[in-house]
Structure 1
Amino acid sequence: MAYGKKRANTTNALFTLWGVLVFAFLFTPIAVIVVYSFNSGRVLAAWKGFGFNAYVNAINNDIIVSSVITSLQAAVGSALLATVLGTLGGIALARARRGAWWAAGLTGILALTLVTPEIVDGIAFLPWFVTLGVDAGIGPFNNGLVRLIVSHAMFSVAVVTFIIRARMAGIDRSLEEAAADLGASPWHAFKDITLPLAAPGVLAGGLMSFTLSLDNTILSSFVQQPGYTPWPVYIFSSVRVALRPEVAAMSTVMLVLTLVALGVVGLVLRKSGESSTAIIKTMAGS
C-alpha cells in the first residue's frame, strides 16, 4: 500500500511538472515581450537598458495610435454585433425542439465557419464588400471600419452562439413558462427572464468576440482600407523590417486592457452568484 501511495505521489509530481513546463512554454514568449517593452534601444532584440522610452515613443507615434484606435473600434463594434446575433442564435438553438431541421442546419453552418480557414474568409469577403459597396452603391460598405466590424463579427458570431447555447441549455424553462402563464408577453418574458438568465453567457461571448477581433490579422489584411489599418496588420508589416520596442510597449498595453476586461467579466459573473467552475464553463462555452 505504501508503494502504491508513493507511486501515486510520483505520478502527481510528474504531471505537475509537465503542467508547469507547458504553461512556461506558452507564456514565456509573452513575458519576454513585456520585459522587452522596457528596452531603451531602437531595436527590440537588442537590449540597451531599462526605460520607458518605448511607451513614450509609442504614444507619440500617430500611426501606432491610429492603428490601435482602429483595432479597438473594430473590436467593440464586432463584439456588439456578434453578441446581438449570437444571443438570438444561442437562445433559439437552446430552445429549439428536438430534431428541428433549422436548428441542425444553423448549427452546421456555424460549425463550418469555425473550421473555415481565415484566408478563405478573406478571399470571400473582399469581392463581397466590393460588390456591395461599389457595384450596388451601398455606401457604408466602402468604409474600412465597417468592413472590419462586419467581417470580424461574422467570424466570431459562431463562438458567441455556442457559448450562449451552452449557457441556456442547462437552465430550466419553467421560469419562462411561468412568466407566460402569468400573462407576460413574449417580449417581456424575453427581457425580464430569458435575457438575465443568459447574461453570463452574453458577457463571456462578447469578451471572446472582442479578443478574437483584436488579434485578427489574416482577415483584416484582406478587408482593410487605407486609413483603417488595425494593430495586428501594422505589426505584421513591421516584422518585415525590424521590430521596435514601441511595438512591444503598445502590445503590452493591449494585453493589460484584455486582462482587465477578462477580470471585469469574471467579477460580474462572480457577483451574479456563479461558482468558479460555472464561470470557467461559461467562458469556455461548455
Structure 2
Amino acid sequence: MTRRPRRSWSDVAFNVWGVLVMLFLFAPILVIIVSSFNVGRLLVSWDHFGFDSFLALLAKPAIRDAVWISVQTGFIAALVATVLGTLAGIAMARNPGKWVWWFLGLLLLVSVTPEIVDAVALLPWMVFLGQDLGMSLFNDGIVRLVIGHSLFSVAVVSYLVRARLVGQEANLEEASADLYATPVRTFRKVTLPLAMPAVLAGFLLSFTLSLDNTVIAAFVSVSGSTPWPVYVLSALRSGLRPEIAAVSTIMLVLTLIALGLVAYVLRRAGDSAADIARTMGGG
C-alpha cells in the first residue's frame, strides 16, 4: 500500500489563501442572496424568512417597469451589437489589409474608454440630435439606452467573430463560389454557420453587459424609461429595501444562465477551457 506524499506547508498556505480570496470576492453576493429572503422594511434589518420580496416584482409597478426596461433594452442592444459586430468581424477576417489594424485600434479605443467619458459625451449628443435637430427618435428613452449600451458590445462581438474566423481557412467559401453560389448564399450557408458559436456568445455577453450598465444608463435615461440599475441608485436615498436584493438575485440568476449558455455553445464548438474563459471575459 503506497503512502500519499505529505503536502508542503506552502501548498496548504496557498490553498487557504485561495479560499479566503474566494470568500472575500463572493461574500457580498451571498449576503444579497440571503437578504432577498428578508421580510422586513429595510435590507439591513432582518425580520424573518419569506418570499414576499420576490412577489414585489409583480406587486409594485415601478419595480416591474424598471426590470422590464432593463431586459427589453438588453435584448435590443444585444441584437444591434450582434448584427453590427458580426458584420465587422467577418469583414476583418475575410478582407485583411492595413485598414483592419486601424479599425481594431478604433474598437480598442471604444473598449478602453471609461464609461463615464462615454456617458458625458452621449448626453449632449443625444440632446443635440433630439432637440436641436428635431429628431424625436433620440428623445425616446429606449432608443437612448440601446445606443449607449451597444457601443461597447459591438467591439466585444467584433473581437469574438474575427478571432473565430481568422483561425479557419476560407476554403469552404471558395468552394461555394466555385459551385456558382451567390455571395449572399455563401454567407448564409457557409460563413455564418462557421461564425455562429462566436455570434451566439457575443449576443449573450452583450445582453449581460447591458443589464449592469449603470453609468451610461444614469446619464442617457429619461423619465418613464428608468432601467433597473438607475432605479437602485435612486432607492439609496430612502434606504434599500429587501425587494432590491430579491430582484438583484433574479438578475444574477439570469446572468449566470446566459454565461452558462455561452460556455455550453463554445464547448460544443470545440473551444478549450482557456478559450472559453477568455471569451467570457470579453477577450
Same fold (TM over 0.5): yes
> 1:96 maps to what in 2?
95
> 1:211 maps to what in 2?
208
Q: Unaligned regions of 5+ residues in structure 2, if any?
A: none
> 1:105 maps to what in 2?
102
Give the whole-Å Cα distance in 1 for the aligned partners of 2:19 and 2:164. Answer: 31
> 2:142 maps to what in 1?
145
> 1:61 maps to what in 2?
60
Query: CA, structure 1 residues 58+42, in 2 after alignment: closer, same or farther (shift >3 Å)?
Result: farther
Paired amino acid for 2:121: A
Query: CA, structure 1 residues 108+129, in 2 after alignment: closer, same or farther (shift >3 Å)?
Result: same
Sequence identity of aligned pairs in percent? 53
Offset of residue 276 of structure 1: 4.6
> 2:260 maps to what in 1?
263
> 1:186 maps to what in 2?
183
TM-score, with length taken from structure 2? 0.91
Give the whole-Å Cα distance in 1 for the aligned partners of 2:12 and 2:152. Answer: 41
Contact 1:58-1:247 within 8 A present in 2 as well? no
> 1:243 maps to what in 2?
240
Give the whole-Å Cα distance in 2 for the aligned partners of 1:132 and 1:51. Answer: 48
Contact 1:42-1:245 within 8 A present in 2 as well? yes
Give the whole-Å Cα distance in 1 for the aligned partners of 2:99 and 2:17. Answer: 44
Q: Unaligned regions of 5+ residues in structure 1, if any?
A: none
**Secondary structure of 1:227's aligned partner:** coil
Contact 1:175-1:193 within 8 A present in 2 as well? yes
Aligned length: 280
Root-mean-square deviation over aligned CA pairs? 2.1
> 2:48 maps to what in 1?
49
**Secondary structure of 1:164's aligned partner:** helix
Contact 2:201-2:265 within 8 A present in 1 as well? no
Which string of whole-angstrom CA distances, capped at 9 and with x for unpartnered residues, describes residues 71-93 of structure 1? 01110010000011111111222
**Secondary structure of 1:94's aligned partner:** helix
Give the whole-Å Cα distance in 2 for the aligned partners of 1:216 and 1:173. Answer: 37
Query: CA, structure 1 residues 281+179, in 2 after alignment: closer, same or farther (shift >3 Å)?
Result: farther
Offset of residue 106 of structure 1: 0.9
> 1:25 maps to what in 2?
24
> 2:228 maps to what in 1?
231
TM-score, with length taken from structure 1? 0.90
